[in-house]
């Protein structure tokens, strides 16, 4: 619950950090007029460079005199956005593939699972690092945001596919699945309505916990200078740029984005644990029994 609270607060802060505007040629529609961040995150020299935290700049300023507080707040948009969108995309790929592999078996299963095995052979981060430069030249993807999201989705779906396949293998042997087939329900409906809803619980838990991992990986990619363009207010990129300042003893430039990442990942993990407990009543029951004994 505390975790959920933290995430909601961070999401609200990120959304309301700067006004969101949709502009066409003539008109600009403001979707969200609030501006919690005191300064434009990319405006330089709003204060002295490398200033420590003060009343005017609570988180201090970085080497270009940009306001750190504003940058951390707006950076939440990138980080939270990457985390949620990448996991959602990965689920959209992993859940259908895993369900199909598990339900039909045979060569379909072999093909999908061997692909998963191949992708699993690469370390997660290394694969993402390899994919980012491949995706970067594709013009449709626009800025670095979508490149990072896609790279993380491509590396992320394999876990869900494998997990769901294992669950489906056991669920498809249940009698209600046979009963549905005996009623002439088409396979795709059987999968969608009977198999997946009964098999998806562990995947949901895994996906929630993975949002944290994905955010960390996005930060790592940003730290390595991949994906988002340098200077953008992404937490990982901010850490990376703060590295040189850290050597000079200016702690505030890295501490605040670092804390933000830490807090978010911790919150996600708390939420994941909560969902796990909520979706897995068996464990509670056995715990209860053990306590009574």
Partner 1 sequence: MALLEVDDLVVQFYTENGVVRAVDGISYEIRAGETLGLVGESGAGKSVASLALLRLIDSPGEVVGGEIRFRGRDILELSADEMRGLRGDEIAMVFQDAGAALNPVYTVGEQISEAIRTHEAVTDETARDRAIALLERVGISDPAARYSDYPHEFSGGMQQRAVIAMGLSCDPALLVCDEPTTDLDVTVQAGILELLADLARESETAIQLVTHDLGVVAEICDRVLVQYAGEIVERAPVEELYYDPKHPYTVGLLASIPRLGDGRGRLTTIPGTTPDLVDPPTGCRFHPRCPYAEDVCARRRPPLVETESGSPDDGDPDTHAAACLEYTGDLEDGLDYEVQVRDESDESTESNEPDERRLGGNDGAERTRERDPTGDPR
Which residues of the shown chain bind partner 1 in the complex (CB under 8 A)?
Answer: 105-106, 174-176, 178-186, 189, 193-194, 197-198
State the Cα–Cα distance between residues 194 and 167, nearest whole angstrom: 13
CB-wise, 31 or 182, nearer to partner 1?
Answer: 182
What is the smallest separation between the CB atom of 180 and partner 1, expressed in angstroms?
Answer: 7
State the Cα–Cα distance between residues 33 and 37, nearest whole angstrom: 12
What is the smallest separation between the CB atom of 174 and partner 1, expressed in angstroms?
Answer: 6
3-state SS class at 22:
strand
What is the smallest separation between the CB atom of 226 and partner 1, expressed in angstroms?
Answer: 42
What is the smallest separation between the CB atom of 146 and partner 1, expressed in angstroms?
Answer: 35
CB-wise, 135 or 185, nearer to partner 1?
Answer: 185
Q: Where are the beta strands (DSSP E) in 25-149?
A: 28-32
State the Cα–Cα distance between residues 47 and 61, nearest whole angstrom: 7
Q: Which residues pair with 67 in a beta bridge?
A: 61
State the Cα–Cα distance between residues 43 and 70, nearest whole angstrom: 10
CB-wise, 54 or 189, nearer to partner 1?
Answer: 189
CB-wise, 184 or 249, nearer to partner 1?
Answer: 184
Report DSSP state, residue 61. B
Phi, psi of 238 (to 5 degrees): -65, -40
CB-wise, 198 or 276, nearer to partner 1?
Answer: 198
**Cβ atoms of residues 205 and 279 within 8 Å:** yes
The H-or-E segment that residue 23 falls in is strand 20-23
What is the smallest separation between the CB atom of 283 and partner 1, expressed in angstroms?
Answer: 18
What is the smallest separation between the CB atom of 182 and partner 1, expressed in angstroms?
Answer: 4
Single out the residue of 78, 43, 72 nearest to residue 58, CA to CA.
Answer: 72
β-strands 28-32, 20-23: how paired? antiparallel
* Total residues belonging to the chain: 293
CB-wise, 56 or 185, nearer to partner 1?
Answer: 185
CB-wise, 178 or 248, nearer to partner 1?
Answer: 178
What is the smallest separation between the CB atom of 236 and partner 1, expressed in angstroms?
Answer: 39
Report DSSP state, residue 190. I
CB-wise, 5 or 197, nearer to partner 1?
Answer: 197
What is the smallest separation between the CB atom of 70 and partner 1, expressed in angstroms?
Answer: 46
CA distances from 77 to 6, 10, 59, 89 (A): 15, 9, 18, 17
């Amino acid at each position: 619950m505390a975790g959920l609270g933290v995430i909601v607060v961070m999401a609200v802060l990120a959304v309301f950090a700067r006004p969101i505007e949709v502009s066409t040629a003539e008109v600009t529609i403001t979707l969200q007029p609030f501006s919690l961040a005191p300064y434009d995150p990319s405006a330089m020299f709003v204060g002295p460079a490398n200033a420590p935290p003060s009343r005017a700049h609570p988180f201090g300023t970085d080497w270009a005199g940009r306001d750190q507080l504003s940058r951390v707040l707006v950076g939440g948009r990138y980080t939270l956005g990457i985390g949620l969108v990448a996991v959602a995309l990965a689920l959209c790929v992993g859940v259908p593939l895993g369900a199909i592999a598990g339900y039909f078996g045979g060569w379909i299963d072999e093909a999908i699972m061997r692909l998963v095995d191949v992708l699993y052979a690469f370390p997660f981060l290394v694969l993402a690092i390899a994919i980012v430069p491949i995706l970067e030249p594709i013009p449709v993807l626009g800025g670095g945001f979508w490149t990072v999201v896609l790279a993380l989705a491509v590396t992320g779906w394999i876990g869900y596919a494998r997990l769901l396949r294992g669950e489906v293998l056991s669920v498809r042997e249940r009698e209600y699945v046979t009963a549905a087939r005996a009623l002439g329900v088409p396979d795709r409906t059987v999968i969608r309505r009977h198999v997946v809803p009964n098999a998806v619980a562990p995947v949901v838990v895994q996906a929630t916990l993975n949002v944290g991992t994905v955010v960390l990986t996005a930060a790592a990619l940003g730290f390595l200078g991949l994906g988002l363009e340098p200077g953008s207010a992404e937490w990982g990129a901010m850490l990376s740029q703060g590295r040189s300042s850290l050597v000079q003893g200016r702690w505030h430039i890295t501490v605040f984005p670092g804390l933000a990442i830490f807090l978010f990942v911790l919150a996600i993990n708390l939420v994941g644990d909560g969902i796990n407990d909520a979706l897995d009543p068996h464990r509670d029951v056995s715990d209860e029994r053990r306590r009574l004994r």
